[in-house]
Each structure stands twice: as structure tokens, then as C-alpha cells.
């Protein structure tokens, strides 16, 4: 399990790791059905970081709610 981090700490850590990643501009959002609107008003990178943070926060909440299932 990861250590608990505040969102600002987690964001700074991820941004540092992602400085070395190749980034592409998501100009048009294409799906199998065709072109769609962007997933949000914020940049795709921020949405990606926040989604990862929320996934970890949700897993922590689940583990706290059902401690008997934590070690499985």
C-alpha cells in the first residue's frame, strides 16, 4: 500500500516523473463512434493526474470501510 499523500504532494511527484514523458497535443478527441468533445474543461494531463489520485483515495476508503478484507 502506498503512503498517504496530500493531493498537492502527489501532483508535484507525478509532474516531476512526467517531465520526461513524451507528450502529444490532444486536438481532436476521436472514439469508435466519431469525434467527441474533450473530457473536461481542464487539460488532459490534469485530468489524468486527478484520476490516478482519486483511484488511490477510493481504494484507501474501501480498505478503511472493510478492514477484514484488507489482507486478501
Ordered by start, the domain boundaries in the chain are 40-72
* Tally: H helices and E strands in the chain: 2, 2
Residue 24 has pLDDT above 80, yes or no: no
Residue 37 banded pLDDT, cuts 50, 70, 90: low
Q: What confidence tier does 55 reach under pLDDT thresholds 50, 70, 90?
A: very high
C-alpha cell at 53: 489520485
Q: Is the pTM of this model over 0.75?
A: no
Handedness of CA 40, 44, 47, 48 (dihedral sign): positive
- The angle, 0 to 180 degrees and rounded to 10, between the axes of the packed helices 44-65 and 7-18 is 130
Mean pLDDT of 56-68: 85
Amino acid at each position: 500500500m502506498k503512503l498517504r499523500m496530500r493531493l498537492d504532494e502527489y501532483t508535484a511527484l507525478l509532474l516531476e516523473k512526467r517531465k520526461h514523458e513524451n507528450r502529444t497535443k490532444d486536438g481532436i478527441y476521436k472514439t469508435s463512434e466519431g469525434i467527441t468533445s474533450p473530457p473536461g474543461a481542464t487539460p488532459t494531463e490534469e485530468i489524468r493526474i486527478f484520476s490516478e489520485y482519486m483511484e488511490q483515495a477510493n481504494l484507501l476508503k474501501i480498505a478503511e470501510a472493510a478492514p477484514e478484507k484488507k489482507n486478501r
